[in-house]
């Protein structure tokens, strides 16, 4: 099982949440400071942002290997759009941490939306 931090369309109530079917919701969470969300046209991208004083809000899930494979496909990790990597989380998940999908392409021309994504 893998802990995944989701911050966009995979969250409960959002349009890609069906990808999380059968997985275990662990709670609402926030990354430590140092990331910013960008609106990429209907979905967000979380990118490292040195000096940013905000964390990104989202949810922590425990997912099985089959779900992780589906998520990697959705996030186009093999195509270099996102990379799944470890991220530090604030309490109550600070000790456990999680992996998250970090956007790898240029965000030039896309609006920053700060620390929270809503559909």
Q: Do 102 and 72 meet the contact criterion of CB atoms below 8 Å apart? A: no
- Residue closest to 26 by CA, chosen among 14, 36, 11: 11
The pLDDT tens digits for 77-115 are: 999 999 999 999 999 888 888 999 999 999 999 999 989
Identify the pLDDT of residue 69.
97
Six-digit token pair at 97?
């941490």
Query: Which of 75, 91, 108, 119 is an active site residue?
Result: 75
Q: What is the mean pLDDT of residues 32-47?
A: 93
Residue 91: active-site member: no
**Which single residue is written with the structure tokens 């600070």?**
94
Q: d(Cα 15, Cα 43) in Å, to the nearest integer?
A: 10
Report the alpha-carbon distance of residue 63 to residue 57 in Å, rounded: 19
Banded pLDDT at 39 (limits 50, 70, 90): very high
Under CATH, to which class is 2-106 assigned?
Answer: alpha beta
Tokens matching residue 104: 């790898």
- pTM for the model stands at 0.94
């Amino acid at each position: 099982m893998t802990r995944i931090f989701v911050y966009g369309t995979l969250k409960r109530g959002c349009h890609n949440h069906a990808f999380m079917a059968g997985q275990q919701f662990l709670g609402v969470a926030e990354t430590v400071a140092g990331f910013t969300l960008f609106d990429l046209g209907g979905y967000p991208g979380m990118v490292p942002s040195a000096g940013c004083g905000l964390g990104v809000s989202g949810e922590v899930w425990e997912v099985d290997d089959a779900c992780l494979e589906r998520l990697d496909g959705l996030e186009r990790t093999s195509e270099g759009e996102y990379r799944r990597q470890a991220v530090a989380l604030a309490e109550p998940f600070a000790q456990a941490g999680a992996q998250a999908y970090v956007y790898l392409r240029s965000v030039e021309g896309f609006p920053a939306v700060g620390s929270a994504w809503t559909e």
